């Protein structure tokens, strides 16, 4: 079914965008902190450093989430391709898909 493939592609694009946005945030906040060092007040530097620290801390979470969702989406796409040959696997695939 074409709608299922489109839905899976949209989910993969959104998750990929989330990971890339995190990489950009880490790079931008790190560069911004270095630019502000010695030029801005303590509060501004603290806020930028806090944003950088949070972005770095979230990177493993985003990557792990992306890999798990990607594998779940691939398993669903494979199931949809062979759904008529293996109808007994329907419950297992729904369990995997909803648990991700």
3-state DSSP assignment of residue 84: coil
Per-residue model confidence as pLDDT tens digits over 2-60: 677 787 788 888 889 999 999 999 999 989 888 887 787 888 888 888 999 999 999 99
Nearest to 37 by CA among 25, 28, 49, 27: 49
Extract long-range pairs of 74-78: CB within 8 Å, 24+ residues apart. 76/4, 76/8, 77/4, 77/5, 77/8
Q: What pTM does this model have?
A: 0.69
User: Left, alpha or beta for 85 (phi > 0: left; psi -120 to 50: alpha)?
Assistant: alpha
């Amino acid at each position: 079914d074409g709608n299922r493939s489109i839905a899976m592609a949209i989910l993969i694009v959104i998750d990929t965008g989330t990971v890339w946005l995190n990489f950009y945030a880490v790079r931008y906040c790190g560069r911004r902190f270095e630019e502000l060092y010695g030029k801005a007040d303590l509060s501004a530097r603290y806020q930028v450093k806090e944003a950088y620290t949070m972005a770095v801390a979230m990177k493993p979470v985003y990557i792990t989430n992306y890999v798990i969702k990607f594998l779940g989406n691939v398993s669903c796409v494979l199931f949809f391709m062979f759904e008529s040959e293996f109808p007994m696997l329907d419950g297992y695939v729904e369990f995997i898909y909803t648990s991700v």
